[in-house]
Amino acid sequence: SGVRSVSVLGATGSIGDSTMDLLRASPERYQVEALTANTNVAGLAKLAKEFNARFVAVADPARLSELRAALAGTDIACGAGEGAIVEAAERPADWVMAAVAGAAGLKPALAAVDRGAHVALANKECLVCAGEFFMDRAAKAGATILPADSEHNALFQALASGNRDELTKVIITASGGPFRTWAAADIEQATLAQALKHPNWSMGQKITIDSASMMNKGLEVIEASWLFALSPDEIDVVVHPQSIIHGMVEFSDRSVVAQLGSPDMRTPIAHCLGWPDRIVGRAAPLDLAKIGTLTFEAPDYARFPGLKLAYDALRAGNGATTVYNAANEIAVAAFIAQRIRFGAIARLVEETMNSWIRAGNLAPLSCADDAIAVDHNARDMAAALLPQIAA
């Protein structure tokens, strides 16, 4: 087939970098339509020129003149502000990587979904925030959602070997993060530098902290539930410190089908880029003899309460997962700003969920705008609870 047009939302981030690495390897196959960033004008302009993008956008509205100056002498169109990121997603690319960090990525990802594109979805927060509407709109528009998160990409690949009604459960693996073997009291006091030292994966700051708290696995349980229409009882988590097996599907005959690979996001992204075909990958080949041992442990809800809260949120429904995600985004930002201790991240999420329910706010949502409103209100509630959690 001919040249494929692609857009990358969040092109200057960790997932963006892995995506651009794959595009760079086959310049004859891809035409870059649009690229976006939040504030990194220099990085965005450099990519735009290298890939001869047609349109670029930064979310920060104050950086338009800076972006224009950086693109002077090219015919690359540009914009700034939240609307410009949505405009980038609306541009006619066949394939869109949704890799903005956080619920801020929801509106642009929906814009790509609504025009029926192939959407490689890395941005799990947008599914946790508004998953049911996201999947509905994808079905209505005929969009294809390609899970880019490594565990979900593994499930997507493993699911192809059976029928949906033959599935008994899915299992996603967790590395356990840097605090896997730490005592609760030490996790409570962990510093930002310690939380940012992930044993296996190199990722953006927010998801690295989520991995340390295992909130990331909680977000992924919810993500799996929306992506594959699974109940909480059908989703298991197993800690697997080597991060070689990413996800497994158990079928009724007790066959368990797994996907393996080096812990390198370029592999699931390559699967999304090539789908339904396979392209040449860029990760190091998997050498099992060199790795030697794969081990597994049950997750510990006592030391990592954020994981259990995800199941609670899924069971509560009615916007509770939106609240879970919103409170976590506030908590992680507060931890990065050194306003709360590491252990307080899960406490703020739990307290926000409890206060939300006590206030009688749990109610059925009927569209993505409802979820966006819950997201805003839950952020306000979490921010209001911060001082008492910090104390």
Q: Which stretch binds ligand NDP (CB under 6 A): 7-15, 67-75, 178-186, 278-286?
A: 7-15
* Closer residue to ligand NDP (CB): 122 or 385: 122
Site string for ligand NDP, 18-37 (x = CB under 6 A): -------------------x
Nearer to ligand NDP, 129 or 248 (CB): 129
Please tell me whether residue 5 binds ligand NDP under the rule CB under 6 A. no
Give exposure, 100-129, as e/b (b: 16+ Cβ within 10 Å): bbbbbbbbbbbbbbebebbbbbbbbbbbbb
Q: Which stretch, 4-12, 171-179, 232-240, 376-384, contacts ligand NDP (CB under 6 A)?
A: 4-12
Partner in contact with 59, chosen from ligand NDP, Mg ion, none, beta carbon below 5 to 8 Å by kind: ligand NDP
The tokens of 367 are what?
Answer: 């569209």
Which residue's CB is nearer to ligand NDP, number 134 or number 351?
134
Q: Which does 14 bind (CB under 5 to 8 A by kind): Mg ion, ligand NDP, none?
A: ligand NDP
Residue 100 is a binding residue for ligand NDP (CB under 6 A): yes
Distances (CA, A) of 87 to 58, 327, 365, 379: 11, 28, 26, 26
Q: Which of ligand NDP, Mg ion, none sits in contact with 147, Cβ below 5 to 8 A by type?
A: none
Rounded Cα distance between 273 and 315, Å, is: 34
Binder of residue 15, out of ligand NDP, Mg ion, none (CB less than 5 to 8 A by kind): ligand NDP
> Which residues inside 145-164 make contact with Mg ion, applying CB under 5 A?
149-151
Q: Quick one: 149 or 250, whose CB is closer to Mg ion? A: 149
Chain centroid to Cα 205, Å, comes to: 12
Q: Considering only residues 122, 272, 323, 348, which one is a binding residue for ligand NDP as defined by CB under 6 A?
A: 122
Pairing mode, strands 77-80 and 55-58:
parallel
Complex with ligand NDP: residue 201 or 275, whichever CB lies closer: 201
Residue 40, interface with ligand NDP (CB under 6 A)?
A: yes
Q: How far is the CB of 329 from ligand NDP (least distance, A)?
A: 10
State the minimum distance, in angstroms, from the CB of residue 21 to ligand NDP.
Answer: 13
Q: Which residues contact 207 (CB under 8 A, 6 or more apart)?
A: 14, 101, 216
| Binding of ligand NDP by 203 (CB under 6 A) | yes
d(CA 169, CA 244): 20
- Binding window for ligand NDP (CB under 6 A); candidates: 72-80, 118-126, 173-181, 182-190: 118-126
Rank residues 5 and 208 by Cβ distance to Mg ion and give the closer one: 208
Q: Which does 251 bind (CB under 5 to 8 A by kind): ligand NDP, Mg ion, none?
A: none
Q: Of these, 33, 90, 125, 264, which contacts ligand NDP (CB under 6 A)?
A: 125
| Single residue of 5, 14, 173, 325 touching ligand NDP by CB under 6 A | 14
In the complex, minimum distance from the CB of residue 35 to ligand NDP, in angstroms, rounded to a whole number = 9
CA dist 14 and 296 (Å) reads: 27
| Distance from C-alpha of 104 to C-alpha of 47, rounded to nearest angstrom | 22
Please identify which residue in the block is written with the tokens 């990760």.
283
* 33 versus 151: smaller Cβ distance to Mg ion: 151
CA proximity to 47, closest of 64, 60, 35: 35
Q: Tell me how far CA of residue 200 lies from CA of 34, 182, 244, 262, 328, in angstroms.
A: 31, 17, 10, 10, 23
For residue 284, how many other CB atoms are within 10 A of its CB?
A: 12
Does 272 participate in binding ligand NDP (rule CB under 6 A)?
Answer: no
Q: Where along the sequence are the contacts to Mg ion (CB under 5 A)?
A: 149-151
Note the residues at the interface with ligand NDP (CB under 6 A).
Answer: 10-16, 37-40, 59, 85, 99-101, 104, 122-125, 149, 201, 203-207, 265
